[in-house]
Amino acid sequence: MNVNIEPSWAARLSDEFEKPYFEALVSFIKTEYSTQKIFPPGKLIFNAFDQCPFPEVKVVILGQDPYHGPGQAHGLCFSVPDGIDFPPSLQNIFKEIQNDLQKPAPPSGNLERWASQGVFLLNATLTVRAHQAGSHQNKGWETFTDRVIHLLAESSDNLVFMLWGAYAQRKGQFIDTQRHLVLQSVHPSPLSAHRGFFGNHHFSQANRYLQEHGKTPIDW
């Protein structure tokens, strides 16, 4: 199956695209886009991959669902396009960066600037119906993104994985902590951030680890 995705990812995922579950997923997604309002726009489903080629990945941040409000989702977890108000979880991420690195919140919530530095912003589910959180879960995306995380963990060394919340932690529980830095805390959602996201110092820890392993730190 010909999937329009960045070449370094396409080369590594080509076998996955031929599997029955993925063909069923594509059929489901095509029907959804033709009959429902779906986010992100179709051309941005694989935006996280397109913005951050496989050899350039240094940090993996794992989300769950795309944003399901108009204009918010653009294929990068936690990120919103320029000019869109910061969702609450993103506000809290910027608050922690400010506390951790004394870096003020940026004017835009567009995290393409992170992706261009090697931060892979992956949602476990890559599409969603408008105003229906979780509506595309258990359709095949999770199987696909599990494979993506396995590829990264098994084919690279000294990556940083940021796993926020129980869902992300379960999805990354197999990652070899001797080979990679795995940073875990509660989710940045307002429901949980005060229970350990604030003060987790994940951003400074990530940069310290990258520098220790000869990699350029991220300008968060």
CA distance 120 to 135: 23
CA distance 7 to 183: 29
CA distance 78 to 202: 16
Beta bridge partners of 128: 39
Quickly tell me which residue has 């919530």 as its tokens: 109
- Mark whether 176 is an active-site residue: no
CA distance 32 to 40: 12
Q: Of 65, 82, 176, 219, which is the active-site residue?
A: 65
CA distance 154 to 91: 32
Per DSSP (E only), the strands in the chain are 38-39, 59-63, 119-123, 128-129, 160-164, 181-185
State the helix-helix crossing angle for 202-212 and 88-101, rounded to 10 degrees.
60
Catalytic residue list: 65
